[in-house]
């Protein structure tokens, strides 16, 4: 409940390097995960991350938690964050709300994918 009542890193990031977008048409949740990546020539680190989520309390809480888990990690480390990591970090979610942790993890992975695609161009 704390991550719902006091979400961390909430809000649109105007100068994001990439934006992940995921949604669930069944429940209507929609998430945007914004990342800013710092490169030092060897590693790419998530220097800043934020989210905008339109959905239920669990969707907001999982979005907040994914930003806390990913901030400061390399892209490789962040890409390995699973829905289980998100749910466990929130001390569990009701079974009917586990799909929200999928959305948060998938949103982060989508942002990383878009960042990597952009770097190839």
In a domain, 86, yes or no: yes
In a domain, 28, yes or no: yes
Q: Is residue 121 part of a domain?
A: no
Judge whether 120 lies within some domain.
Answer: no
Which CATH number is 73's domain given?
A: 3.90.1010.10
> Could you give the percent of the chain with pLDDT greater than 90?
55
- Which pLDDT tens digit goes with each residue over 88-102? 888 866 666 666 557
Secondary structure of the chain: what % helix, strand, coil (to 5)?
A: 45, 25, 30
Range of the domain at 55: 2-115
Structural domain includes residue 61: yes
pLDDT digits (tens, 9 = 90+) for 29-59: 899 999 999 998 889 999 999 999 998 888 8
Catalytic residues: 27, 100
DSSP codes, 32-45: EEEEEEEE-SS-EE
Strand 44-54: give its sheet, edge to edge.
18-23, 30-39, 44-54
Asked whether residue 56 is domain-assigned, the answer is yes
pLDDT given at position 48: 97
The pLDDT value given to residue 46:
98
CA distance linking residue 85 with residue 105, whole number of Å: 9
Structure confidence at residue 78 as a pLDDT band (50, 70, 90): very high
Q: What integer pLDDT is reported at residue 3 of this predicted model?
A: 65
- Per the listing, tokens 């942002």 go with 111
**Domains: count for the chain:** 1
pLDDT at 115: 97
- For 98: left if phi > 0, alpha if psi spans -120 to 50, otherwise beta; the answer is alpha
Question: Over 90: is that where the pLDDT of 7 sits?
Answer: no
Q: Is residue 73 part of a domain?
A: yes
């Amino acid at each position: 409940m704390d991550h719902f009542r006091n979400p961390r890193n909430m809000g649109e990031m105007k100068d994001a390097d990439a934006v992940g977008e995921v949604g669930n048409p069944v429940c209507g949740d929609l998430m945007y995960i914004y990342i800013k990546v710092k490169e030092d020539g060897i590693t790419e680190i998530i220097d800043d991350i934020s989210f905008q989520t339109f959905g239920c309390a669990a969707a907001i809480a999982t979005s907040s938690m994914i930003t806390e888990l990913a901030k400061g990690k390399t892209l490789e480390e962040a890409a390995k964050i699973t829905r289980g990591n998100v749910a466990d970090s929130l001390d569990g979610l009701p079974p009917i709300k586990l799909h929200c942790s999928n959305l948060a993890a998938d949103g982060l992975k989508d942002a990383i994918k878009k960042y990597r695609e952009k770097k190839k161009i």
